[in-house]
Structures are given as structure tokens and as C-alpha cells.
Structure 1
Amino acid sequence: MQHYEQATFAGGCFWCMVKPFDKYEGVISVTSGYTGGHTVNPTYQQVCQGNTGHTEAVQITFDPAMISYKKLLDIFWQQIDPTDSQGQFADRGDSYRPAIFYHNKFQQQQAIASKQALEESKRFSQPINVAIEPATTFYPAEDYHQDYYKKQPEHYNRYYRLSGRANFIADNWQDKPATKSE
């Protein structure tokens, strides 16, 4: 019997956080959704209004025999501006804040170590401002948000570019490992 685990990451708009993970062998699924709030089964409209306490996130089901949690962390870091705790790129506010939601003590330790390694690398002149918090209930987003990059590729690609994410990633991450240990 295969043993799958989950990893949960928030990096701004969840549309932009699915595709980077989806392409790796060992990633079973990537689900867009909401976590960390107080409203049961929130809708996109409720989360966007900003009073549910939720953060847009992706929950990744993965096979740890094929892809490590550390590798998932490295992928995560390279999709975001880790110095911006107030949102990501064009998306502002708590629902778009970057965060790592750990599911167990091992993930917590790995997340803390990866954040520290990125800080020590001095890649960014500002402090690394990504929250590391225990995972709470994850609510899958509405169906139209799932695999958005496949369902609406033109809109997705335009948004990815115009939000500022594409240029930031190209300028700060392209062909550069997240940490020196790679």
C-alpha cells in the first residue's frame, strides 16, 4: 500500500501555485483552497471580502518515496517573493499572504530549516517574511478554480505575467537554487 502525505503552501493567488508543483513525478494532486480561517466551508467571495480569516493555499498530496518534502519546499520558495508578508505581487491582504502550513513535526523542522537557509543565503536584502504555522482545516475551492491554468490558459498566462510574478521569478529565481545545499 502506498503512503501519501500532504503539504500545504500559500503563495498569493492559488491559481499560480498549482502549475509549478503539478509537473513533478510523485505529486499525486494539487488542490486549490482556503485554510487558516474561522468560517466553515467558505466561498471565494467570502474569502476575498477578507473577514473569514482564510488564506488562499494549495494542498499537495505527494508520494514521499518519489519526491521529498524538502524538494516541495524548494519549489514553493521559487514561486513567491519571500520578503513580502502583506500579499504576493498584485494580490494584497491576508488572504494572499505567503505561508507554510506544516502537517507534522518533521515538516515543521524542514520548513524552519529551509527558511533559515534562505535567510542565510543573503539572496534577498530584506528579511524572509513567510509564516510557518500548523495546518488547519483545508477547504477545497470551487471547481472552476481547480487546475485553472489548464481550464483557462490564456487568462492564466496573462494574469501570471501582469501580476508581476513572472518577472520577479525570472529576475530572482531562474536557474538559481533556493538554498546552497542543492
Structure 2
Amino acid sequence: MNNKLEKATFAGGCFWCMVKPFDQWDGVISVISGYSGGHVENPTYEQVKTGTTGHYEVVQITYDPTIIRYETIIQIYWQQIDPTDPDGQFHDRGSQYRTAIFYHTEEQKRIAETTKKELEQSGMFTKPIATKILPAAPFYPAEEYHQDFYKKSPEDYIEDRQKSGRDEFIKKHWNEI
């Protein structure tokens, strides 16, 4: 195994819905729910959900680039979100639910900018792409009860996804679920 693991960090609305799509791929070592991009050190969920800390709910993915490439991971990301919504994702509203790609290297930044431009030019969406591309910021893991929510509470996870409108959007725009 490659000793040089890499990280990818994405904000895509509620982090509960962002773990499973990445967790299922070979080469993905871990997917951790957490917070990034804000101005409070070691924030709690209770603080972040107020929308006053500046944090996004994010997933931080540790992966082996010899098995799965960043290009693949970012395509998975785009297909989980509504990239045109500047105010949240689906039924989750507020700054903590905005979308963003936090790049860890200049190569990730280049790939993120390229794929964003391709999406903008694709004609798939009538509104502009609102997803921000930002330098990686300190990452704070969320509380344990938020980790692997889809495994710990499968019924609640399915219900939350159904209520959110995320799956209908994905099916309509990406023909995948």
C-alpha cells in the first residue's frame, strides 16, 4: 500500500448524506464528518448549527491516490449536490450547509477549477454554479454520534434523505442514486 495517503475535503450540505457516497469506493480509507472554514476553534455541532461560526459541515476523505484518483473523488462530489444553491442544500438552509471544495494542494485546486468550469459550460444547470473553491482550513471532526450516521441509524438516514429532496435532484440531474 502507498504510504502517501491524501485528503479531500468537501462541503455538500448535511454531512450525514455525504459520507456513504464516498465510503463505498476502493481506495477510500476513511470519511470523517466535521467542520471547516470558520473562525471558532474546536466548534461543537450546537455552535455550528447556529450559522454564526462561519463553519461549513464537511466530510474529510482520506484516500490512497494509487487506487482512486482525486478526479474520480471530485466527480462523485459534484453528483451529490446542487451546485447552484448558494444558501444551503435541499431542505437544509443556512451558511453551514453551503457547498465548497477545500483544496489541499495546487493540483486539487486546478482540478476543482477545471471541473467547475466544465460543469458551468455543460448546460446542465440554468443557474450559475455557486460552489466555492477554497484553500483547506483547519478541520474539526464532528461529535462521535455524527460519524457513520448511515451505518448507525440506517432508518433515520433513509428518512432524512427522502425528506431532503437530495435523491430526487440527483436522479433528475445525474441519473444516479
User: Shorter chain as normaliser: what TM range?
Assistant: over 0.9
1:125 corresponds to 2:165: no
Determine the structure 1 residue equivalent to 2:25.
Answer: 24
What's the CA shift for 1:166?
A: 1.0
* CA distance, structure 1, for counterparts of residue 39 and residue 83 of structure 2: 25
* CA distance, structure 2, for counterparts of residue 12 and residue 59 of structure 1: 13
Identity of aligned residues (%): 58
1:151 corresponds to 2:136: no
* CA distance, structure 2, for counterparts of residue 19 and residue 57 of structure 1: 13
Cα offsets for 1:7-30 (capped at 9, x unmatched): 000000000000000000000000
What's the CA shift for 1:49?
A: 1.0
Q: 2:145 is aligned with what amino acid? A: Y
TM-score by length of 1: 0.95
* CA distance, structure 1, for counterparts of residue 110 and residue 32 of structure 2: 24
**Structure 1 stretches of 4+ moved >4 Å:** none
- How many residues were matched structurally? 176
* CA distance, structure 1, for counterparts of residue 87 and residue 64 of structure 2: 32
Secondary structure, in 3 states, of the residue corresponding to 1:9? strand
* CA distance, structure 2, for counterparts of residue 82 and residue 67 of structure 1: 23
Determine the structure 1 residue equivalent to 2:44.
Answer: 43
Larger CA deviation: 12-21 vs 49-58: 49-58
Q: Where does structure 1 lack aligned partners over 5 or more consecutive residues?
A: 176-182
For residues 45-64 of structure 1, the aligned pairs below 5 Å read 45-64=46-65
Cα offsets for 1:69-114 (capped at 9, x unmatched): 0101100000000110110000011100000000010000000000
Q: 1:28 is aligned with what amino acid? A: I
For residues 1-182 of structure 1, the aligned pairs below 5 Å read 2-175=3-176
What's the CA shift for 1:169?
A: 0.7
* CA distance, structure 1, for counterparts of residue 75 and residue 26 of structure 2: 15
Secondary structure, in 3 states, of the residue corresponding to 2:49? helix
Q: 1:40 is aligned with what amino acid? A: E
Cα offsets for 1:154-177 (capped at 9, x unmatched): 0000000111101111111115xx
* CA distance, structure 1, for counterparts of residue 171 and residue 105 of structure 2: 32
* CA distance, structure 2, for counterparts of residue 113 and residue 51 of structure 1: 31
TM-score by length of 2: 0.97
